[in-house]
Amino acid sequence: MITEKPSAAKRIADALNDEKSPVKHEEYGVPYYDIVRNGERIRVVPAIGHLYSVAQEGKGWTYPVFQTKWVPSYTVSKKAKNTENFIKVISKLAKEAKNFVSATDFDIEGSQIAYCVLKYACGEPSLNKAHRMKFSTLTNRDITEAFNSLSPTLDWGLIEAGRTRHEIDWIYGINLSRAMILSLKKASGMYKALSTGRVQGPTLAFIAEREKKIRSFVPKPYWAINAVALINGEKYPLEYSQRKIWIKKEAETILNECDNKSGVISQIQTRKSVLRPPVPFDIGALQSEAYSNFRFTPSRTLRIAERLYLDALISYPRTGSQKFPPSIDTRAILKSLSGIKQYSEMISELLSKEKLVPTQGKKEDPAHPPIHPTGNLPEKKLNDDERKIFDLVVRRFLAIFGEPCIRESLKIEVNINGHLFHLLGRRILELGWQKYYSPYVKSEEIILPQLNKGQEIKLDLTEIIDKYTSPPSRYNPKSVLTLMENQHIGTKATRAEIIDTLYSRGYITGERVVMTPLGFSVINLLSKYCFEVLSVELTRELEQEMDEIEIQKKTRQEVIIDAVEKLTPILKEFKLKEEAIGQGLSEAITSLRKEQSTIGTCPICKDGLLTITYSRKTHKRFIGCSNYWTGKCNFSVPIPQKGNIEVTEKNCPYCGFPIIRIRGVRKKPWNMCINWQNCPGRKDKEVQQEGEAQ
């Protein structure tokens, strides 16, 4: 039995074993388990993610290259070195097996992982002796049910779709990335890791389009009337009926006619609105909500959710479903969760209902239900990140069984010398589902006193506020993810990774996404010389064709041939324009490096620039003041030697020195005060840094 990860192997072995406990073995650091089920001996062996990867058939670092092969991942990536021992152990143990079971996650990636393990590590004949286990949680109940209803064959639709996706993504990615890298080297002799692809290109193009609108935006002045009403000794803001006044003289006239005047309530409008409970979480909604509440990037949320899934605390996270199948016993899950003190009272209230009917969304995933708690209680203490995501998933699950929230909005029209102002109030009449989803839903109330039509309202203040129209808002990781979902590019499994790649390549920067000169250069050059790469239509077409492979309407060969035919003329055009493209990339990279090396003005000497500099002796990087060379300032400080450094444009609240952000070293980026050695706030989480490690 092949599982996707060691932790999954242990859970499956524990769930299926008829004897007291599984017999654990370990070879070359790879754990595996012997169990007995219905008198049959089963060996449960884990992979560790993708043990095999797509690679080039033949040698040479050039393009175009369309011939691919599958090879052990450790042969093409240093980061995958640990996969070698897993392949070695699986290959050895497979020789003793009579039958095989794919018990990896039931999705394209999981099916692909098991297929490669069976074909290449166990030997191709194993494919005809293999069965498929399908489960959505790693609870004992689901694992047992999945084993008792094994599919007689592998899930070939998912496997073929997975193979095709990996091969097409590799063909597009390797050819286009090599084309850019080689054109840069040819034009300037410079090397930098550059990339684009069939999903990465259109995503970056959307961000570039927004950035251009922001940079070309010309603010237009307008004026607003600010007024404050005095009612029973309390102050309440009044909103002028015309929010934007485009002529200043008109605003001044309104002010003169309203200043020092009283108003009369001319109309009172009351409206009740019903807010239905939220729909269950799919992966996109979970990532979006985690960003809104915790500022977790989409990839960080997915990693945390996967850990909770492997601990059997939540269902499989890579799902697009918002509908629960009848097979899930939601009442039993709630009863089990009531064992957690912080939820017990709310769950008791829900269980008192005669019927528990969850809110359902429109999206449906035939393979998996929405993300929900399994009912299992944590076996170990969760870390802060895991606790936050687990709490978010549990409270969302409770909320979908809640009653609608009833909200009352009050709009009071106040006539001040012929000018209409509005006094706005709102309150919650029935909290409904929001009581279960707190603190992840904001319900700010504005309670107004009892007011009557014809009542006089005194003004405490009227004034003119100078304002300017705002440019379009910048994207953030959450909105980029939502954009990709809405445009139907990428998959549940790959979208977060694409966003991370755009950051790591230096194309975008900042939590509020800003295009770098390099990002703009890549977009401008691709738009000019091979605009098809940025086409969202092309990406959608390929996505649709791969979906058709999954339901066996198209074959892998057909789709790959079509993809190659679309890519070939793009690469031919690129070849003809290599020198111009390379020159443009060279200029952008030089500009980017200059921009990235300047941190800000030195707070000590006040006129020097803090820049990232490399030591001639040690070749290590540090931050120093430009006035060092004139003898005016000697500030310097060591910084982490790995990772990308971003300027945050924020200053430390303790010492005033700039704060930088480091990406690509840990699982999540972190902020650091560059004066970390002497900063008074060194122990604060925002500025603390392990200086002794530098």
Average pLDDT over residues 58-83: 93
Between CA 586 and CA 606 the distance in angstroms is: 33
C-alpha 513 chain-centroid distance: 13
Mean pLDDT computed over every residue of the chain: 91
Is residue 594 included in any domain, yes or no?
no
Please, how many CA atoms are within 13 Å of residue 454, restricted to the half-sphere of its CB? 0
Other beta carbons within 10 angstroms of residue 525's beta carbon come to 21
537-542: long-range pairs with CB below 8 Å, 24+: 538/198, 538/566, 539/198, 539/199, 539/201, 539/202, 539/489, 540/487, 540/488, 540/489, 542/168, 542/198
Pick from 12-16, 48-52, 302-306, 661-665: least confident = 661-665
Are 286 and 292 in contact, with CB atoms under 8 Å apart?
no
**Same domain flag for 84 and 146:** yes
Last residue of a domain, one of 371, 399, 427: 399
pLDDT at 218 over 50: yes
| pLDDT recorded at residue 634 | 87
Q: Would you place residue 14 in the very low, low, confident or very high pLDDT band (cuts 50, 70, 90)?
A: very high
| pLDDT given at position 375 | 95
- Poorest-pLDDT segment among 90-99, 207-216, 441-450: 441-450
Tokens representing residue 453 in the block: 């039509």
- 291 with 190, same domain: the answer is no
The total number of structural domains in the chain stands at 5
Mean pLDDT across 569-586 = 90
Q: Is residue 93 part of a domain?
A: yes
Q: What are 103's two structure tokens? A: 């018990």
Q: For residue 668, is it within any domain? A: yes
Are residues 234 and 93 part of one domain?
no
The answer to whether 254 and 269 have CB atoms below 8 angstroms apart is no
Domain residues for the domain of 125 are 2-154
* Peptide bond just before 202 cis, omega within 30 deg: no
Beta bridge partner(s), residue 296: none
Share of the chain above pLDDT 90, in %: 69
Instruction: Count Cβ atoms within 10 A of the Cβ of residue 342 and give its class: 0-12 exposed, 13-18 middle, 19 or more buried.
Output: exposed
Question: Encoding tokens for residue 379?
Answer: 């076996």
> Per residue in 431-476, pLDDT tens?
999 999 999 998 788 899 999 999 999 988 889 999 999 999 999 9
Q: Is 316 a catalytic residue?
A: yes
CB neighbours of residue 560 within 10 Å: 19
Alpha-carbon gap, residue 688 to 694, rounded angstroms? 13
**Single residue among 154, 172, 197 that ends a domain in this structure:** 154
Q: How far apart, in whole angstroms, are the C-alpha atoms of residue 684 and residue 680?
A: 9
Same domain, 129 and 251: no
* Measured CA angle at 547 (ends 542, 549), to 5 deg: 95
Q: Which of 589, 617, 638 is the last residue of a domain?
A: 589
Per-residue pLDDT at 210: 95
What is the structure's pLDDT at 291? 95
What number of other Cβ atoms are within 10 A of residue 584's Cβ?
20
Window from 30-39, 307-316, 657-666 with minimum mean pLDDT: 657-666
CATH of the domain at 538: 1.10.460.10
What does the DSSP 8-state code read for residue 78?
G
Distance CA 76, CA 56 (A): 10
Q: Are residues 304 and 389 in the same domain?
A: yes
Residue 596: inside a domain: no
Looking at residue 684, its pLDDT comes to 55
Q: Is residue 595 part of a domain?
A: no
Mean pLDDT of 117-143: 96
> Comparing 17-31, 262-276, 550-564, 655-669, which segment has the lowest mean pLDDT?
655-669
Q: For residue 651, what pLDDT is reported? A: 86
DSSP class per residue in 24-47: EEEETTEEEEEEEETTEEEEEEE-
**Among residues 52, 115, 316, 507, which one is catalytic?**
316
3-state secondary structure of 79: helix
Under 8 Å between Cβ of 686 and 671: yes
Q: What's the whole-number mean pLDDT along residues 133-139?
A: 95
Q: How many CA atoms lie within 13 A of 21 on its CB side?
A: 4
- Quick one: average pLDDT of 226-234? 91
Query: Quick one: pLDDT band at residue 381, thresholds 50, 70, 90?
Result: very high
CA 670, 675, 678, 681 torsion-angle sign:
negative
Given a contact cutoff of 8 angstroms between Cβ atoms, the answer to whether 687 and 654 are in contact is: yes
CATH (domain of 340): 1.10.290.10
CATH code (residue 422):
2.70.20.10
| H or E stretch covering 142 | helix 140-148
Model confidence at 692, pLDDT cuts 50, 70, 90, reads very low
pLDDT at 70: 97
Which residues have C-beta within 8 Å of that of residue 359, sequence separation ≥ 6?
276, 277, 278, 279, 280, 400, 401
**CA-based diameter of the chain, in Å?**
94
Average pLDDT over residues 326-339: 93
| Alpha-carbon gap, residue 40 to 33, rounded angstroms | 14
Give the pLDDT confidence of 646-672 residue by residue, as tens digits.
888 788 888 888 888 887 777 678 888
More confidently predicted of 588 and 303: 303
Q: Which whole number is the average pLDDT over 31-46? A: 96
Q: Directed axis angle between helix 6-16 and helix 140-148, to 10°?
A: 80
Q: How confident is the model at residue 313 (pLDDT cuts 50, 70, 90)?
A: very high
Give the phi and the psi of residue 419 in degrees, each rounded to 5. Answer: -105, 135
Residue the block writes with tokens 């102050």: 235
Shared domain for 309 and 424, answered yes or no, is: no
Determine which of 204-218, 262-276, 498-512 has the lowest per-residue pLDDT on average: 498-512
Residue labelled with tokens 């985690």: 290
Looking at the structure, do residues 27 and 143 belong to the same domain, yes or no? yes
* CATH assignment of the domain containing 144: 3.40.50.140
Evaluate if residue 577 carries a pLDDT over 50: yes
Q: Using 50, 70 and 90 to split pLDDT, how confident is the model at 398?
A: very high
Are 645 and 681 part of one and the same domain?
A: yes
Q: Which residues contact 672 (CB under 8 A, 6 or more apart)?
A: 639, 640, 659, 660, 661, 662, 687, 689
Same-domain status, 336 and 374: yes
Instruction: Answer for the pair 274, 414: CB distance below 8 angstroms, yes or no.
Output: no
pLDDT at 270: 94
Q: Where are the alpha helices (DSSP H) in 196-247?
A: 200-216
Nearest one of 43, 135, 122 to 90, comparing CA atoms? 122
Query: Residue 10: inside a domain, yes or no?
Result: yes
Q: How far apart are CA 475 and CA 498, in angstroms?
A: 15
Given a contact cutoff of 8 angstroms between Cβ atoms, the answer to whether 39 and 45 are in contact is no
Residue 620 falls within a domain, yes or no?
yes
Same domain, 143 and 28: yes
pLDDT at 217 over 80: yes
DSSP 326-348: TTS-HHHHHHHHTTSHHHHHHHH
User: Is residue 683 scored above 70 in pLDDT?
Assistant: no
Q: Is the pLDDT of residue 193 over 50?
A: yes
Q: Do 348 and 411 fall within a single domain?
A: no
Long-range contacts: 377-386, Cβ < 8 Å, 24+? 377/336, 377/337, 377/339, 377/340, 378/311, 378/313, 379/311, 380/311, 385/296, 385/300, 385/304, 386/304, 386/307, 386/308
Q: Do 453 and 496 share a domain, yes or no?
A: no
Q: Are 638 and 620 in contact (CB under 8 A)?
A: yes
Residue at 50 is within a domain:
yes
- Is residue 156 scored above 90 in pLDDT? yes
- Amino acid (1-letter code) at residue 420: L
